[in-house]
Structure 1
Amino acid sequence: MGQFKQTVALKDVKCFALHGYYPEEQLIGNHFIIDLITEFSPHGFDDELAQTVNYEDLNKIIREEMKNTQKLLETVLNNMITKVIELYPFVQTINVSIKKLNPPMPGQIGHSFVQLSYTSAK
């Protein structure tokens, strides 16, 4: 018999934050969209929240890290992954991405995009 793999995720979480490499970005801010996806082998299906990842916790992690101004979006994503691992060490993979809407540069650009992935060594 095969093995179950469970996904718990939040997608299209919209935030306003002051992330950016340039000082003016940290003053003006921008709109961002975040996806945070976790995968793991479920511990069972006994209808208990302790057996899974609580997406309310994922939302809290996203919101906290978006308030913590950073120059690089890579740093923001790494901090999110670190907090998910601390809270849910059984998670096997984490994929988190961020879109910065209308990045401040010449031309019409819908969004910039950064993604960071983690795979457990277990």
Structure 2
Amino acid sequence: MEQYKRKIALTNARFYAYHGYYHEEQMLGNEFFLDIICFVSNPTLNTDDNLVKTINYEELYRIAKEEMAQPKKLLETVVDNILNSIKVNFHEVNEIEVSLRKSNPPFGGDAATAEVSLYWQSGT
């Protein structure tokens, strides 16, 4: 039996936000890059070019933008919130991966990035 898995992704979405554990990070802000990858197993084939039969990546961006606008101390919290919001808004999604990268974190690295990712897969 044939099976399909559709991947919908938003990659390298750039945000300037105020996430960080240290007061200076929360005051000065930083550049962040976000990837969201969603999978739908056995999707309805979209031969009629209908947006309602897929995951609208504009909606993924809206979710991300709302969460990125709310300063948090930990990137883990931001990633968890984004993933959970996608689960609530898109019941047809079976797998989600959210990765958030912070440019030049304050530990003295030269052009380093810090990254936190979270992966979820439905139990069904």
Q: Please tell me the TM-score bracket, short chain as reference.
A: over 0.9
Q: Secondary structure at the match of 1:90?
A: coil
Does residue 43 (structure 1) correspond to residue 37 (structure 2)? The answer is no
After superposing on structure 2, the runs of 4+ consecutive aligned residues of structure 1 that deviate more than 4 Å are none
Say which SS state the counterpart of residue 55 (structure 2) adopts.
coil
| In 2: Cα distance, 1:91 partner to 1:27 partner | 36
Number of residue-to-residue matches in the alignment = 122
* 1:1-122 pair list within 5 angstroms: 1-41=1-41, 42-45=43-46, 46-122=48-124
**Unaligned ranges ≥5, structure 1:** none
SS state of the match for residue 6, structure 1? strand
TM-score (norm. length: structure 1): 0.95
In structure 2, what is the Cα distance between the partners aligned to 1:119 and 1:97? 15
Q: Over aligned residues, Cα RMSD in angstroms?
A: 1.1
Secondary structure of the residue aligned to 1:47 is: coil
CA distance in 2, matches of 1:107, 1:13: 23
Matched residues, percent identical?
42
Unaligned 5+ residue runs, structure 2?
Answer: none
**Secondary structure of 2:12's match?**
strand
Question: What TM-score results when the alignment is normalised by the length of structure 2?
Answer: 0.93
